[in-house]
Amino acid sequence: MICYWLFILFLAYNSKIEYTMGHNVLTNVAYGKSVRQSTDFRWGSVPDNAVNGIFTDFTHTDLEKNPWIRIDLGRNYTIHEVEVFGRRGCCVERLHDVDIRVGNDLHDMHLCGHFTGSCTRSGERIAVFCPFNTFGRYVKIQIMEGWNNYLSVAEVLVWGRL
Ligand SMILES: [Ca+2]
């Protein structure tokens, strides 16, 4: 019987550890939110695909310099981490050299992190941890290099809290 209760205590202790680590105290505050992108691909694009929870679809801008996609979280959140997932099956290398910025004013966005180089693996994940106390309503992902680029993302997860 003592062993049983010790086992229960062990489980509870470990649950607590897990609860305070990883994303368990955070929420993906981007899910289902409003999305805009710099341009729409000429044969159609659905910006909301960036936040629909499905990793097999994707967004698609037209060909341009410094294309971007921006999520409106609807209110301010403390943002800890942003994850960006590339397309699967084709063209993931188009996701390259991106700035990820967060802010509560579109004219005053702060750098959360930068990814240098190109993605190489289908569905590759870019993850950046924002500086301590990053706070904002808008999250913007923008290609910073090259003259003509498409920007496609399969999904964006923004880990934050109120
Ligand atoms: Ca998606």
Which residue positions in the chain have pLDDT lower than 50?
Answer: 7-9, 11, 13-21
d(CA 11, ligand 1 centre) in Å: 35
Domain boundaries, the chain: 26-161
Q: What pLDDT, on the 0 to 100 scale, is given for residue 67? A: 98
Q: How far is the CA of 153 from the centre of ligand 1 (A)?
A: 8
Q: What is the pLDDT of residue 9?
A: 46
CA of 25 to the centre of ligand 1 (A): 23
What is the 3-state secondary structure of the chain?
CHHHHHHHHHHHHHHHHHHCCCCCCCEECCCCCEEEECCCCCCCCCHHHHHCCCCCCCCCCCCECCCEEEEEEEEEEEEEEEEEECCCCCCHHHCEEEEEEEECCCCCCEEEEEEEEECCCCCCEEEEECCCCCEEEEEEEEECCCCCECCCCCEEEEEEEC
pTM for this structure? 0.84
CATH architecture of 26-161: Sandwich (2.60)
96 CA distance to ligand 1 centroid (A)? Answer: 18
State the pLDDT at residue 4: 53
Separation of CA 125 and ligand 1 centre (Å): 13
